[in-house]
């Protein structure tokens, strides 16, 4: 069975996952962390992750887990367990839809400065987002395809909220009741293509639709309640990005200008959200090469290993594949 982490560097791979996976019981309620895994018996199986052990769940997929509810689903976890290095962690779910917001002011300011302009005043009036491709989702340790049409492949360090309870016209303060949990999101980008699309004034589209990575687990809000900063759907969690083991980016979830409450209120205005809809935060400040290099590169290359780490969730690791011909 392929392991959840590459064999090198072993200490970073295994210990970092365990360190941020502090699952325990408070009364009868787990601080719940869910995953979708592949084992020798099942190609895809929902599971509950408790410390360094993985307990399978008797549900066909994460949608069924969400329908049952986190607490009820957790009670059905197998008493037998597997070590985390005995399973492969897949993308936690296949998004029904995938929206990505633009919520971190530092990133927005830098991105606009790179274009030689100020932040549009409209950005401060309401949270904006775009739709991207839910059909190109990848998980832990997956190789990410390098599209032949780009010479400027980039990562983006984000956190995603997964809708577990549908609704329309959701108030910002009620939004956390509709969020099943949070996971790490790498919004892979083709910057040269994206730049041309944005000049045209429609997009991003082809600059974003080839890959989105999620994982390794979904963390429920109970698991991070002590990290809440008092704004709906915002928590004090460090966010780090590394390329080939070198730290390039460091930010914090709490630095969102627009909270997930704000974003979900905007998204659900006159529109019904459904379970399995996924909403990205947008890139945290310094969380991509575009921002770090002022659009000059260097960009990612074949074989580069990108690790996105968010406190209490873990490390999402992917490798850049061979460029298409």
pLDDT of residue 55: 97
> Mind listing the pLDDT tens digit of every residue in the chain (325 residues)?
333 333 223 223 333 433 434 444 443 345 789 999 999 888 999 999 998 999 999 999 999 999 999 999 999 999 999 999 999 999 999 999 999 999 999 999 998 888 788 999 999 999 999 999 999 999 999 999 999 999 999 999 999 999 999 999 999 999 999 999 999 999 999 999 999 998 898 989 999 999 999 999 999 998 999 999 999 999 999 999 999 999 999 999 999 999 999 999 999 999 999 999 999 999 999 999 999 999 999 999 999 999 999 999 999 999 999 998 8
Q: Cβ of 206: how many Cβ atoms within 10 Å?
A: 16
In this prediction the pTM is 0.91
**Distance from the Cα of residue 181 to its chain's centroid:** 11
What pLDDT does residue 118 have? 94
Q: Per DSSP, what are the bridge partners of residue 186?
A: 157, 213
- Dihedral sign (CA 49, 260, 277, 138): negative
- HSE toward the beta carbon, residue 92, CA cutoff 13 A: 29
**DSSP string over 214-263:** EEEEEE-GGGGGGGB-SSTT-B--EEEEEETTEEEEEEEGGGBSS-HHHH
State how far the Cα of 285 lies from the Cα of 295, in Å rounded to an integer. 15
Outline which parts of the chain fall under CATH 3.90.850.10: 98-323
The confidence score (pLDDT) of residue 7 equals 28
Tell me, which fold does domain 98-323 have in CATH? Fumarylacetoacetate hydrolase; domain 2 (3.90.850)
Q: What integer pLDDT is reported at residue 30 of this predicted model?
A: 52
């Amino acid at each position: 069975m392929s392991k959840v982490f590459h064999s090198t560097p072993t200490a970073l791979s295994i210990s970092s996952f365990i360190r941020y996976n502090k699952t325990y019981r408070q009364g009868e309620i787990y601080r719940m962390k869910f995953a979708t895994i592949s084992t020798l018996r099942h190609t895809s199986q929902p599971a509950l992750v408790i410390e360094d052990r993985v307990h399978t769940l008797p549900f066909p997929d994460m949608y069924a887990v969400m329908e049952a509810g986190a607490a009820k689903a957790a009670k059905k976890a197998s008493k037998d367990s597997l070590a985390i290095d005995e399973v492969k962690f897949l993308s936690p779910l296949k998004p029904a839809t995938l929206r990505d917001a633009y919520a971190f002011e530092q990133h927005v300011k830098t991105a606009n400065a790179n274009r030689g302009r100020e932040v549009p005043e409209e950005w401060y009036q309401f949270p904006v987002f775009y739709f991207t491709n839910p059909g190109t989702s990848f998980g832990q340790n997956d190789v990410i395809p390098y599209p032949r049409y780009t010479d400027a492949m980039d990562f983006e360090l984000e956190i995603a909220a997964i809708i577990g309870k549908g609704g329309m016209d959701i108030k910002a303060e009620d939004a956390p009741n509709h969020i099943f949990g949070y996971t790490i999101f790498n919004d892979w980008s083709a910057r040269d293509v994206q730049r041309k699309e944005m000049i045209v004034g429609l997009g991003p589209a082809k600059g974003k639709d080839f890959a989105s990575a999620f994982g390794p687990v979904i963390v429920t809000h109970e698991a991070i309640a002590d990290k809440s900063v008092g704004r709906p759907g915002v928590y004090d969690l460090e966010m780090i990005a590394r390329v080939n083991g070198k730290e390039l980016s460091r930010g914090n979830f709490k630095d969102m200008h627009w909270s997930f409450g704000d974003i979900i209120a905007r998204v659900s205005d006159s529109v019904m959200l459904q379970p399995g809809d996924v909403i990205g935060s947008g890139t945290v400040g310094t969380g991509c090469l575009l921002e770090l290099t002022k659009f000059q590169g260097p960009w990612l290359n074949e074989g580069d290993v990108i690790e996105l780490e968010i406190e209490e969730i873990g490390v999402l690791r992917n490798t850049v594949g061979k460029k298409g011909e």
